[in-house]
Structure 1
Amino acid sequence: MSLLTLDQLKTIMIQVDAESAKELDGEILDVGLDHLGFDSLAVLEIATRIQQAHQLPIPDEAIEEMTTPRNILDYVNQRLAA
């Protein structure tokens, strides 16, 4: 299975909250999702869409640790590569 790219993650983030999409330009890998305009419900929706697209279970504890785009990519890609 192919790894999740930053561009794919951005697409999912835009689908979840198009209003926050304007914040996704530039270097966002280490910017907090809350600073990008995504609350906990939006992060849950992002995780749900990733789970559906990649058939990858993501436990609630892992979702709580997803505070930046880099955290999401690292978690997902480590599991996809395994």
Structure 2
Amino acid sequence: MNFSLDGLRTILRACAGEPENGDLDGEVAAITFEDLGYDSIALLETLSRIEQEYGVAVDEAPMDELTTPQALVDYVNSRLARETAHV
């Protein structure tokens, strides 16, 4: 299983709606969540939804490092790889 930027877009829209300061359909991989207009509460809800939908534990996610959509996608994929390796 792989988590993609499109998967993140879907979850962000469901949890927090469209960004205040950007367009999720554009090149957002390197734009910070803050610059997009998402706050920490939106990100926590997004992480919770990722955990529910993908079965990956993200409860100890390093939020200070997950500042962009690409960083979050990479983090989730690394967690998925680790959990898959332990099965």
TM beyond 0.5: yes
User: After alignment, is 10-19 or 53-62 more displaced?
Assistant: 53-62
The Cα offsets for residues 4-30 of structure 1, whole Å up to 9 and x where unpaired, read as 111111000101122428621211101
Q: Contact 2:57–2:79 at 8 Å: present in 1 too?
A: no
Q: For 1:25-40, list aligned pairs within 5 A.
A: 25-40=25-40
Q: Contact 2:18–2:24 at 8 Å: present in 1 too?
A: no
Gaps of 5+ in 1: none
Aligned equivalents of 2:41, 2:64: Cα separation in 1: 11
Aligned equivalents of 1:81, 1:53: Cα separation in 2: 16
TM-score by length of 1: 0.86
Query: Equivalent pairs: percent with the same residue?
Result: 38
What is aligned with 2:7?
Answer: 8
Higher helix share: 1
Runs of 4+ in 1 over 3 A off after TM superposition: none
Aligned length: 81
Gaps of 5+ in 2: 83-87
Greater Rg by CA: 2
Cα RMSD for the two superposed structures: 1.7
The Cα offsets for residues 19-74 of structure 1, whole Å up to 9 and x where unpaired, read as 42862121110100011111000010110000111111113452332110011111
TM-score by length of 2: 0.82
